């Protein structure tokens, strides 16, 4: 689960960086990268939820 949390943190940093570039500079490519990162974050959060529930039992 530790590696999962590290992956989430890494992906969130990439998302924040690209989303900021899109908002501030209008960088369309950064927007596409941010959207891709958001999908990966969503998958990892679902996996985290499953593992967290399993660990709590």
For residue 25, the model assigns a pLDDT of 94
Domain boundaries, the chain: 2-56
2-51 pLDDT, tens digit per residue, is 999 999 999 999 999 999 999 999 999 999 999 999 999 999 999 999 99
CA 25 to CA 1: how far, in whole Å? 36
pTM as predicted? 0.85
CA atoms within 13 A on the CB side of 27: 14
């Amino acid at each position: 689960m530790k590696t999962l949390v590290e992956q989430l943190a890494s992906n969130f940093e990439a998302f924040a960086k690209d989303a900021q570039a899109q908002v501030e500079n209008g960088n369309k490519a950064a927007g596409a990268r941010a959207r891709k990162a958001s999908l990966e974050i969503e998958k990892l959060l679902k996996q985290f939820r499953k593992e967290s529930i399993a660990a709590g039992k």
